[in-house]
């Protein structure tokens, strides 16, 4: 089942939002992909315009790759539908963008930069734990804190989700700090601040890699530029390169 022309199968599946190219290769090798009624085990297969493709029984058709940047306000959950009938981030988007999945998440009370996409490669690059993409948060605590907690947060504290540490912490004012993380444990910052004896009053993510909100207002969104995608992808490629070098 090989053809000299056409789109490589893993790229086709990734463009349809199935997953990253690597995960799509795995699906092929595990016999989960059927083309024109036959199981395809060849990741190098070239998709033809007339091909009928299924993954785990579901018809796959190519989708336009789209990624957006959303300034999430507090009070919205990162899900398409909520069992408790809470407002969701998808209420901020036109129906034509409801197929996009959030890349990572911000909890109900958190605000700031959120990417939504059907780009499997970008999602993999930003969320795979080994890539350790840096994210910058601005944190406001309920009460003033001592400088000593900055060192504690950088050295690491024990929380409900395990030991967690910040890449860096910078004091902004008596109750505000900036924290850089390269991990994404559930409610990590809130648990870390609680572990040093304080509570979070406001939490805003302002940066992912070099991507920022700039002038984007709360509740508004815009499309991710190609140059911005390339910059985010290059971060994960550098991580993979340094990891491979360290093994030599």
The residues annotated as belonging to the active site are 107
* DSSP secondary structure string for all residues of 145-210: --THHHHHHHH-EEETTEEE--SEEEE-SSSEEEEEES---TTHHHHHHHHTT--EEEEEEEEETT
Structure letter (DSSP) for residue 233 = H
Distances (CA, A) of 57 to 14, 17, 29, 46: 17, 15, 16, 20
Reading the block at residue 78, the tokens are 């990162």
Instruction: Report, in this order, helix, strand and coil percent for the chain, each rounded to 5.
Output: 30, 30, 45
């Amino acid at each position: 089942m090989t053809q000299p022309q056409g789109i490589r199968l893993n790229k086709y599946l990734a463009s349809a939002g199935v997953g990253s190219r690597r995960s799509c290769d795995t699906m092929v090798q595990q016999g989960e992909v059927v083309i024109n009624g036959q199981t395809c085990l060849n990741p190098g297969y070239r998709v033809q315009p007339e091909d009928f493709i299924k993954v785990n029984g579901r018809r796959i058709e190519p989708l336009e790759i789209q990624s957006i940047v959303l300034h999430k306000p507090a009070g919205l959950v990162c899900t398409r539908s909520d069992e408790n009938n809470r407002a969701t981030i998808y209420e901020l988007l036109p129906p034509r963008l409801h197929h996009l999945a959030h890349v990572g998440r911000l909890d109900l009370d958190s605000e700031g930069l959120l990417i939504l996409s059907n780009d499997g490669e970008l999602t993999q690059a930003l969320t795979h734990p080994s890539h350790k993409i840096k994210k910058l948060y601005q944190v406001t605590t309920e009460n003033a804190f001592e400088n000593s907690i900055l060192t504690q947060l950088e050295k690491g504290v024990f929380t409900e989700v395990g030991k967690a540490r910040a890449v860096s912490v910078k004091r902004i004012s008596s109750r505000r700090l900036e924290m850089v993380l390269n991990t994404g444990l559930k409610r990590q910052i809130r648990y870390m601040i609680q572990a040093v004896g304080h509570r979070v009053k406001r939490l805003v993510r302002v940066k992912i890699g070099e991507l920022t909100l700039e002038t984007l207002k709360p509740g508004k969104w815009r499309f991710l530029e190609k140059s911005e995608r390339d910059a985010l992808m290059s971060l994960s490629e550098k991580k993979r390169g340094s990891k491979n070098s360290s093994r030599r």
